[in-house]
Amino acid sequence: MSTLTADDLRARVGELLAAHPPASTDRLEFLRARFDAGLAWVHYPAGLGGLDAPRELQNVVEAELAKAGAPDNNPRRIGIGLGMAAPTILRFGTEEQKQRYLRPLWTGEEVWCQLFSEPGAGSDLAALGTRAVRDGDEWVVNGQKVWTSVAHIARFAILVTRTNPDVPKHQGMTYFICDMTDPGVEVRPLRQLTGEAEFNEVFLSGVRIPDANRLGAVGEGWKVAQTTLMNERVAIGGNAIPREGGLIGMVSQTWRDRPELRTPELHDRLLKLWVQAEAARLAGTRLRQQLAVGAPGPEGSAMKLAFANLQQALTGLEIELSGEDGLRYDDWTLRRPEKVDMLGRGPGYRYLRAKGNSIEGGTSEVLRNIISERVLGLPSEPRVDKDVAWKDLPR
């Protein structure tokens, strides 16, 4: 870790702004220059968009750049790359992989998706059946993935496959980087409850992936995937929001705007949810502080679980507070959005979209198991398939 201070970073930001004035510099050119200056994510290594500086100093950089009107890298659009692919590549990737992928990932020139969930594996990622068979210096991949956000605009994907069916399910997996433009990759829209196709099905038919695109050792895909999943849960449940920001802010405003719909029972529910939202916000701050000093732990699962419960409760209350207006839906036209727009749509959309929060990023049932076993230290759930070869598991 370097000894850079906040003043040192302010000076570096000043140098970047002097060399690339935001008002007269192309957006992409500015972002590339920011990455090369080590100001993309200051806690990353030098040469990879960072300066080996303490993670909390990123706030100093963001404040200085915002004050200067500098463009951002649209983190909501490229959230999977930033929150899941990047930390996994940083930890398990080769130097060549880091140099190749991290810069265009951060600038948004290359969007990433996550090929994890499968229709036959349910909520048990370790049961996945997409096969990768080695053929010389390449792997031939066949299978199907589902619930894949932004696959329709993604250039690359992080992919978990089954490479050895003769060992227990957690031991025979291998992790790859998949080029979504390669022959054999087919993306089909998956229309959701909201009417839009934010998710996709992805079919992999004879896709050839170079061994050079493997992340981690053969057979250790579960270990690599755990890094991705823990970062995913922090990314979903630990976002920084101001007090009374996000959904609780919108619901509170609806309460203020519609006095004719108020009842004592709704008032009681709003107060309880406001307290829960504030507790979740402060817990998220604590989680990010923990992240600043090391890898995310299983506590991120608790944040993601709390986030899902709160989102669903808030959107349900908002529907009730909105009266007849809450039952109207803004648009059923099929869309394929690049990001979830919870705050930019109506109460009906938010209510329907929030249903997915208890599934995406690990179901609430799986997260409760993680919390009970790895956070609270309670006895493990009986697992009769723990020592059974994957090929012998009933399906």
Enumerate the active-site residues: 232
- Both tokens of 4, joined, read 């850079």
| Residue 306, CB-side half-sphere exposure with 13 Å CA sphere | 22
| Matching residue, tokens 């920011």 | 34
Q: Which residues of 311-320 are buried (b: 16+ CB within 10 A; e: fewer)?
A: bbbbbbbbbb
Max Cα separation, the chain? 71
Please name the residue that has the structure tokens 């309670």: 378
Asked if 155 and 110 touch (Cβ cutoff 8 Å), the reply is yes
* CB-based contact 215:224 (threshold 8 Å): yes
Write out the two tokens for 107.
């600038």
What are the backbone angles phi and psi of residue 210, rounded to the nearest 5°? -60, 145
Both structure tokens of 30: 């500015």
Tokens of 133: 């068979």
* SS3 of residue 190 by DSSP: strand
Answer for the pair 131, 204: CB distance below 8 angstroms, yes or no: no
Q: Is 58 helix (H, G, I), strand (E, B) or coil?
A: helix
- Helical (H) or strand (E) element with 56: none
- Give dist(CA 257, CA 18) in Å, integer: 46
Backbone angles phi, psi at 160, to 5 degrees: -110, 135
For residue 191, the one-letter residue type is R
Q: Could you tell me where the DSSP H helices lie in 293-346?
A: 299-321
Cβ atoms of 393 and 169 within 8 Å: the answer is yes
Burial class (CB in 10 A: 0-12, 13-18, 19+), 142: middle
Distance CA 90, CA 40 (A): 14
Q: Do you know the residue count of the chain? A: 395
The strand ranges marked E within 44-180 are 112-115, 131-135, 138-145, 156-162, 173-179
Reading the block at residue 267, the tokens are 């008032």
